[in-house]
Amino acid sequence: MIKYIAYCRKSTDEKEKQVLSIESQIAELKEFAAREKLVVTEYLTESRTAKIPGRSIFNQVIEKIEKGEANGILAWHADRLARNSIDGGKIIYLLDTGKIIDLKFPTFWFDNTPQGKFMLSIAFSQSKYYVDNLSENVKRGNRQKLRKGILPNKAPYGYLNEPRLRTIEIDPLKSKIVKKAFELFAEGESSIADISRFFQKFGITRYTGKMLHLDTVKRLLSNKFYIGIINFGGETYEGTHKLFLPPELFGKVQKILEARKHPKPRRNNFTFLGLVKCAECGCAITAEVKHKCYPTTRGNVDYIYYRCTKKRNDCSQNYLREELVEQQLRAIVAKSSLPNSWAKLWLEKLDKEETEEKTNSETAISKLSSKILEIDQKLDRLLEGYLDQIVDPQIYQQKKNELVELKIKLKEKMTSISKNGSESAAFLRI
């Protein structure tokens, strides 16, 4: 008598609509077993993909058969059993050695004859072909998109996947929310959690409606996609999507994120510390707060005092109220202020520099564009070296990423100069 183990599988990532759910597979197999009068010892189910060997329930089935607990397998279709060469080979081997006497499928005819085994191995390799082809098609599609500068993934917040053109476009509403979030964070007062709360307030949340995870927000705030860089599979590509964030704003946010990584120990924030030294002995100045209480008139009042640290022991200076330090400093600064009569001359000089600046910007831009051209040539040479197998794949990838990032930075600089003039001009206008 042949004892069958029924095996049902539906992988979680399977997109094929025609594959029955595990429950319906069991129902069909039960009906089939009754009709064919099969003895089924147990029903085992698994919800994992068969692309990679090592499914635990499938291995249990094989083990049970090797131990002789059963000598037949019942499944909905041959592709439920194997989609990789190892598992397919195992089944055929068990048939060859006689451990499996029969396989039954409601949707596929099998007979334990040389012809039947031949048909089975074709069914196995067909399902393997299906899987290989699927992933190859996905990879090919990804490469094609990356070549065109399109991220082959779900669009980051603020963007949407255009289903017809298969591009990534700016989401008119969400892009405004994301930009506002960057602006908020760039002010330096908001925490990551504040930004997440801000997103929730305006409807950018997890699927469940809960606040975005803090790591998600951090990744969003540092995602270079927003300045036109695509990172995919460890490689960097130049994106062709439109930008809605000014690169300067993105840079500002990166600086804040970087600074928050190494928080400085927080000290009392006294205005004039580090600015002045003791005039008598040259030691550093320290400051402290004194609390005073005037029960009948003003209540609690804090006074800030500055004093010499007297590290060298021979200083006669006393405490000084902050207001007095300020007065002294004002007196010093006043000495070096400029007379009004100079203003006209300075303004003329500014005008002259502005004209000079224009020519400077032009030369700077032409320099930058020749640098960019150089990088493009380097990229070409690098690719040739890689294709000729002179350059290791790892080095190729690393170098390529560096060059692409540099190129994007130079391009940013170019737009910034043509918009605001070179750095010196931007500084003078403030």
Q: Which residues bind Zn ion (CB under 5 A)?
A: 278, 280-281, 283, 308, 315, 317
Report d(CA 224, CA 215) in Å as an integer.
15
Closer residue to Zn ion in complex, CB, 121/317: 317
Report d(CA 343, CA 322) in Å as an integer.
33
What are the backbone dihedrals phi and psi of residue 163, each rounded to the nearest 5 degrees, phi first? -70, -30
For residue 143, CA distances in Å to 113, 136, 146, 228, 232 come to 44, 10, 5, 18, 10
Closer residue to Zn ion in complex, CB, 318/341: 318
Closer residue to Zn ion in complex, CB, 135/309: 309
CB of 285 to Zn ion, least distance (A): 8
CB of 303 to Zn ion, least distance (A): 20
Tell me if 415 sits within 8 A of 248, measured CB to CB: no
Closer residue to Zn ion in complex, CB, 24/309: 309
Report d(CA 332, CA 121) in Å as an integer.
93
For residue 71, CA distances in Å to 6, 35, 80, 124 come to 11, 19, 18, 20
CB of 275 to Zn ion, least distance (A): 15
Task: Calculate the dihedral angle through the C-alpha atoms of 102, 108, 109, 111, rounding to the nearest 10 degrees.
Answer: -30
CB of 318 to Zn ion, least distance (A): 10
CA atoms within 13 A on the CB side of 292: 10
163 three-class SS: coil
CB of 239 to Zn ion, least distance (A): 59
CB of 284 to Zn ion, least distance (A): 9
Report d(CA 73, CA 104) in Å as an integer.
6
Closer residue to Zn ion in complex, CB, 190/317: 317
Closer residue to Zn ion in complex, CB, 12/313: 313
- Name which of 129, 105, 152 is nearest 51 in CA terms: 129
CB of 315 to Zn ion, least distance (A): 3
CB of 421 to Zn ion, least distance (A): 47
Closer residue to Zn ion in complex, CB, 113/316: 316
Closer residue to Zn ion in complex, CB, 280/362: 280
Report d(CA 13, CA 163) in Å as an integer.
21
The CA angle 145-149-154, to the nearest 5 degrees, is: 65
Q: What element of type H or E holds 73?
A: strand 72-75
